[in-house]
Amino acid sequence: MSSLADRINDALPQTQCTRCGYPDCKAYAQAIANDNAPINQCPPGGAAGIAVLAQLTHQAPLPLNPEHGVEAPMTVAVIDEAWCIGCTLCIKACPTDAILGSNKVMHTVIEAVCTGCDLCLPVCPVDCIEMVPISGHKTAWAAWSPELAAQARQRYEARQHRLVIEEREQAARLEAKAAMKLADLEAHTRPMETPSGTTSDQDAADKEMARKRAIIEAAIAKAKARQKA
């Protein structure tokens, strides 16, 4: 039998919009299960979603907290490609990889997998993104569906997995680079521009070498930790 947090997460719309105040739907579900958050902080789920959460948690239904948004029709992001500068910030912000493009190349949205989370809006430096309603007067679960929620969840989890792999690969590259510098530390340390042969000169050189060694060893340790995270 799944845990209460799992059942709550299954009941959430999986838009990953963060309007609830948590980084994703799973975190909000865990907070509800731990009695650290009320059940009325999910605008995409709306009143229908709150009713389901109330049943799961054996609580009385509550009106949606307006501090987290209002129940509204489903929307998708549309990029004005004439104004897009290809900065990639919206791509990095999208929780479901619904935006295609690359650096300095025009971006476009895959409408079928956009959750309408709005997270791309605040990061766009030229305001070329608009959220367009696509469900008429239907809101919350009347506009959304379990199938769309499942798709959004799968894409979000796949993206999170990819980001972890990319982070570890980047950390491995940085570790290898730092290890090469450590192995050839003397070649990367400029000779002291002072008269040679004195004890003070040698002490200064040794201190500089030790300083650089400590920096590189710290970088290696940090890279190793990132690969294990």
Region 180-197: mean pLDDT is 60
Whole-number mean pLDDT of the chain?
Answer: 87
Query: For the chain, what are the domain ranges?
Result: 4-68, 75-143, 164-228
Give the CATH number of domain 75-143. 3.30.70.20
Into which CATH architecture does domain 4-68 fall? Orthogonal Bundle (1.10)
DSSP for the chain reads ---HHHHHHHHS------TTSSSSHHHHHHHHHTTSS-S---TTTHHHHHHHHHHHHT-------GGG----B-EEEEE-TTT-----HHHHH-TT--EE--TTS--EE-GGG-----TTTTT-TT--EEEEE-STT-BHHHHS-HHHHHHHHHHHHHHHHHHHHHHHHHHHHHHHHHHHHHHTTGGGSPPPSS-SSSHHHHHHHHHHHHHHHHHHHHHHHHHHHHHH-
Region 194-221: mean pLDDT is 66
Residue 1 has pLDDT above 70, yes or no: no
With pLDDT > 90 as the criterion, what percentage of the chain qualifies?
Answer: 67
pTM score of the predicted model = 0.76
Region 176-204: mean pLDDT is 62
pLDDT, tens digit, 9 for 90 and up, residues 59-97: 999 999 999 999 999 999 999 989 999 999 999 999 999
